[in-house]
Chains A and B, each alone.
Chain A
Amino acid sequence: MNYTWDWGAMRQALPLLLTGFETTLLATVLGILVAAVLGLVVAMLGRAPTRLVTIPVRAVTEFVRSTPLLVQLVGAYAVFNTVRPLTIGIAVLGIHYASYLSEVYRAGIDAVPRGQWEACRALSLSPRRTWQAVILPQAVRNVLPALGNYGISMFKETPFLAVITVTEMVAQAREYGANHFVYAETFTLAGLIFLVASYPTSLLMRKLEKRLGH
């Protein structure tokens, strides 16, 4: 049972994996953007004064949160079969994480002291300015650490996109590994690339948190 580690294969697979990594990165960055914006919209809709809005919003987020990402990906892929798989992947990742982020935002908004709302009212600020100039800047500051963590977590879930034929990095690793029978090497390499990318990101997030005074 001697396994000879093939360093050469790792070297050869690297450029291919890096092409895959571009897709991974693209899906993550766009996915986070969708999630960050949509999550905020959902959080604000959740505070609407009428149940006609809050109940459907709640139902949809509960549904998204309680079903696996994999199921959502395959489902969306089957339904929207004319859309590019990468686009579906980004949309599903974005929507999936938006349902989590909406809760994070909600907590962040709730954490803005009541006195801030009252000061806005006392100054006759419009609802728009109240949100834009006062509440959201403080809420976003509250949620930034959590936002970063969800971003990293989404980054590590992008390999699921392979099931809808998106050739991100892990799909490339599997393909190369299958063709040359060097799974261990290529998957290790993929893992290392994930590590190299996410560890500095989390360090950066920690620094940012400190700077914002958390």
Chain B
Amino acid sequence: MATDPLQKPDTEHRAQDTVAAGHLIEFDQVVKRYGDHVVLDHLDFTVERGRHVTLIGPSGSGKTTILRLLMTLERISEGLILVGGRPLSHMAGPNGSLKPADEKYQREVRKKIGMVFQQFNLFPNMNVLQNITEAPVSVLGLDRAEAEERAGELLDMVGLREKITAHPTQLSGGQQQRVAIARALAMRPEILLLDEVTSALDPELVAGVLDLLREIAHTTDITMLCVTHEMGFARDISDQVLMFDGGRVIESGPPERIFGDPEQERTREFLSAVL
């Protein structure tokens, strides 16, 4: 897929050096340990560009760890993660070898990836507009007017234009999460990581956030990786579901099959417990 029909016209600020073909995300024998506790056990999986992938599985199965590794919030213990063909945690060393990536390299690779957190993590010392424009201005080098225009469009999209000067503490959880989504999108990421983004919300606020994510999934070409307990949402937006257990992918496939006719007994058990 060299040209994507869904590609928005304003992609010039995106990093363009990702290989067009092949997997956008690749986990190659990834191990993550905390002391003796193995969270990810020689994990292999790939995600194609533009896909919407949902990670499901019991708590503690390592789903969130995958997102945190991709965001380089954690270091891998073994293996390799490739994003757009480039290793995330390693950079080219002498004689074609790989050495651990330095901070600058990681920041470059990370620019392609955005993340929305369970606890929103908006900056409480900034208003909504500043939250959204901080990174486009200081990281991408946009001028302020351009960044504010972009922020305005995103706030229209998330339906919070009138809250532009509000501070996070003046917003409901759902509103905060929508601002957090706008903040992540303002960086024009190729990959959006969604870490249980509705888990901290009051039930009546969940729908607004899910509707927004559905709209993003259907109107942009952003590759989405989401960890969720909202099975209906997973079924609705994803075109690939990965079932995790014990630090491995035990089953993967399109949502119709995983939710309709899972092959693994463990998947069936899990789904009957949560659905």
Report if A138 contacts B (CB, 8 A). yes
Is the beta-carbon distance between B110 and A125 smaller than 8 angstroms?
no
Contacts of A119 in B (CB 8 A): 117, 121-123
How far, in angstroms, from A122 to B185 measured CA to CA in the complex?
Answer: 12
CB nearest to B72 among chain A residues: A121
Partner of B121, one of A118, A124, A125: A118
Is the beta-carbon distance between A125 and B73 smaller than 8 angstroms?
no
Q: Count how many chain A residues have C-beta atoms less than 8 Å from C-beta atoms of the other chain.
A: 18
Is the beta-carbon distance between A122 and B71 smaller than 8 angstroms?
yes
Is the beta-carbon distance between B110 and A121 smaller than 8 angstroms?
yes
Is the beta-carbon distance between A141 and B125 smaller than 8 angstroms?
yes
| Interface SS majority for chain A | helix
How far, in angstroms, from A119 to B134 measured CA to CA in the complex?
Answer: 12
Q: Which segment, of A73-81, A98-106, A129-137, faces chain B?
A: A129-137
Is the beta-carbon distance between B187 and A124 smaller than 8 angstroms?
yes
Contacts of B126 in A (CB 8 A): 133
Report if A123 contacts B (CB, 8 A). yes
How far, in angstroms, from A126 to B71 measured CA to CA in the complex?
Answer: 15
Report if B157 contacts A (CB, 8 A). no
CB 8 Å contact bits of B114-146 with A (1 = contact, 0 = none): 110101011111100000001100110000000
CB nearest to A127 among chain B residues: B103
How far, in angstroms, from A80 to B113 measured CA to CA in the complex?
Answer: 56
Is the beta-carbon distance between A115 and B134 smaller than 8 angstroms?
no
Report if A12 contacts B (CB, 8 A). no
Residue among B117, B122, B138 with max Cβ neighbours from chain A (10 Å):
B138
Report if A188 contacts B (CB, 8 A). no
CB distance from A58 to the nearest CB of B (A): 25
Contacts of A123 in B (CB 8 A): 114, 134-135, 139, 183-184, 187
CB 8 Å contact bits of B94-121 with A (1 = contact, 0 = none): 0000000001000100110111010101
| Interface SS majority for chain B | loop
A116 and B135 in contact, given A122-B184, A124-B110, A124-B187 (Cβ under 8 angstroms): no
Is the beta-carbon distance between B123 and A125 smaller than 8 angstroms?
no
How far, in angstroms, from A133 to B113 measured CA to CA in the complex?
Answer: 21
Which residues from 13 to 60 on chain A have a C-beta closer than 8 Å to any C-beta of chain B?
A: none
Is the beta-carbon distance between B138 and A126 smaller than 8 angstroms?
yes
Contacts of B125 in A (CB 8 A): 134, 137-138, 141
Partner of A121, one of B71, B122, B183, B184: B71
Is the beta-carbon distance between A122 and B134 smaller than 8 angstroms?
no
CB distance from B19 to the nearest CB of A (A): 21
Contacts of A113 in B (CB 8 A): 121
Is the beta-carbon distance between A118 and B107 smaller than 8 angstroms?
no
Is the beta-carbon distance between A115 and B119 smaller than 8 angstroms?
yes
How far, in angstroms, from A122 to B138 measured CA to CA in the complex?
Answer: 14
How far, in angstroms, from A141 to B121 measured CA to CA in the complex?
Answer: 17
Contacts of A121 in B (CB 8 A): 71-73, 110
Is the beta-carbon distance between A116 and B123 smaller than 8 angstroms?
yes
Is the beta-carbon distance between A124 and B123 smaller than 8 angstroms?
no
CB distance from A133 to the nearest CB of B (A): 6
CB nearest to A134 among chain B residues: B123
CB distance from A121 to the nearest CB of B (A): 6
A118 and B73 in contact, given A123-B187, A126-B107, A141-B125 (Cβ under 8 angstroms): yes
CB nearest to B115 among chain A residues: A122
Is the beta-carbon distance between B114 and A122 smaller than 8 angstroms?
yes
Partner of B111, one of A118, A124, A137, A138: A124
Is the beta-carbon distance between A125 and B119 smaller than 8 angstroms?
no
Cβ contacts A to B, 28 pairs, < 8 Å: A113-B121, A115-B117, A118-B73, A118-B115, A119-B117, A119-B121, A119-B123, A121-B72, A121-B73, A121-B110, A122-B73, A122-B110, A122-B113, A123-B114, A123-B135, A123-B187, A124-B135, A125-B135, A125-B138, A126-B138, A127-B103, A129-B134, A129-B139, A133-B123, A133-B138, A134-B123, A134-B125, A138-B125
A113-B121, A134-B123 given; 10 more Cβ-contact pairs under 8 Å: A118-B71, A118-B117, A119-B123, A121-B72, A122-B71, A122-B73, A122-B113, A122-B115, A124-B110, A124-B111
Chain A residues with CB under 8 Å of chain B are: 113, 115-116, 118-119, 121-127, 129, 133-134, 137-138, 141
